Amino acid sequence: MSTTTAPQLHPDLQKFLAKKTHQLLIGGQWVDGLSGRTFDTFNPATGEVLGTVAEADSKDVDAAVAAARKALEGPWAKLSPAEREKVLHKAADLLEARAEAFAQLETLDNGKPIREAKNGDLPLAAGLLRYFGGWPTKIHGETTPVSVPYYPGSKFLHYTVREPVGVVGAIIPWNFPLLMAVERLAPALACGNAVILKPAEQTPLAALFLGELLLEAGVPPGVVNVLPGFGPTAGAAIAAHRGIDKVTFTGSTEVGREVVKASSGNMKRVSMELGGKSPNIVFADADLEAAAKGLFMGIFYNQGQCCSAGSRVFIERSKYPDMLAALAERAKTVRQGNGMDPKTHMGPLVSSEQRERVMSFIESGKKQGASLLAGGDAPAGPGYFVKPTVFGDVKDDMRISQEEIFGPVVSVMPFDDVSEVVSRANNTDYGLVAAVWTKDVKKAHLMASALKAGTVWINCYHFVDAAAPWGGVKASGYGREKGQYALENYTSLKSVWVDLN
């Protein structure tokens, strides 16, 4: 475990954290929750209270929906597409200017290493704002040649219009607090919607800090509302509210099913990115040095707290012993500690509950006969740490091979041929991502076609971009975020007929 002295916090962050209570953002105003309840959010590296946050419930959701509706009918609707672009680009400028403060907050609230926050989360978030900031003037309909067989010789003009879907409820997870908020807000705002954002109760601060920035960027009151709270109260109210037209959710498959059920009251549109149990497949003809780095990054990035974590590693049998040993030895060298230390490779898990969950999976792996080659325990002392853990001799039906762990735990298994590994890789309820390591171009493309996943990486892992679609199949969800495909989530297509006869 590494140790570090208390970091010098950015002045903007110091001012933000000095608040006695972080309030809700509703209608452009910072307000207490109507219930008066608050909850604490913790620094996962120390277990200490980082801040106290107002707790939203169903009544606050009602107020936010009213504010969002008012904004949709007022100043937001009056902004031209070009003016919406200016607002989003201004937000990107402000985020880049305050990147240090936001990166520090991500690390304090989530636990991730500061270098991951600086080099990953922040530029990706700013990139999303800039990418979708270019879309408002390019969202358009089409004219369609039409004919009416029962009205021969008639002339009609037919065209389509893309309109905002309305009020969007966005329920986001704790593993990438800022990035997930921006990933939902940027396309929704580009399309002219209003948003009610519920950050995870474990990591509410980035969304609130972002709310301040968006108001400064010129987002009109009520267009973005931020409601920290808990799933069974605030989250459930958003999913069920008849004044919300669309819900976007990222989280567990189990909760996703509840969101779908709750959304059926007014048949609101739903898109969701859920869990994963992703295969990371190494063939004997791969660049093994690059593959070794990809296996490590695939599972241990962000403490393994990624829906896309490569938690099932398949290695062609002839290379299995050496690659397994190399992965285990590399896991043993990981420098764990407070994420604010620039030398830290891996921070803590987000909460004590998450640490207990991950440790229960590790115990399950031991009991079911997997070979523990690295890690497997939680270091003593403050913080919610679990050592990076490598299991060999894993069977496909073991719990650690079937269920999403969401922590730094990897199951490594040998395979013999292409058809076998495709069958085993697809033998899961999930289908978010997959990766293939090979120098054989034909094999790579055949594998990409055969694997049931929303994204397939070839000779790389964890690469994303604002323009590339993101989402899964099967129990990993439906709908796509990022790229032009996200516009489908946040617009409604209207068909218009004009009689020219």
Q: Which of 398, 307, 331, 323 is nearest to 361 (CA)?
A: 398
Which secondary-structure segment (H or E) carries 208?
helix 205-217
The conformation of residue 287, written as its DSSP 8-state character, comes to: -
Instruction: List Cα–Cα distances, 218 to 79, 85, 92, in angstroms.
Output: 11, 11, 12
State how far the Cα of 388 lies from the Cα of 393, in Å rounded to an integer: 17
State how far the Cα of 339 lies from the Cα of 346, in Å rounded to an integer: 7
Task: Give the pairing of strands 455-458 and 433-437.
Answer: parallel
State how far the Cα of 187 lies from the Cα of 197, in Å rounded to an integer: 13
State how far the Cα of 462 lies from the Cα of 310, in Å rounded to an integer: 9
**Within a 10 A sphere around the Cβ of 9, how many other Cβ atoms?**
17
- Which residues does the annotation mark as catalytic? 273, 307
Q: Which of 358, 350, 352, 294 is nearest to 323 (CA)?
A: 294
Task: Give the burial string for 319-339 (b: 16+ CB within 10 Å, else e).
Answer: bbeebbebbbebbeebebbbb
27-32 long-range contacts, CB within 8 A, separation 24+: 27/63, 27/64, 27/66, 27/67, 27/70, 27/71, 27/221, 27/222, 27/225, 28/67, 28/215, 28/220, 28/221, 28/222, 29/221
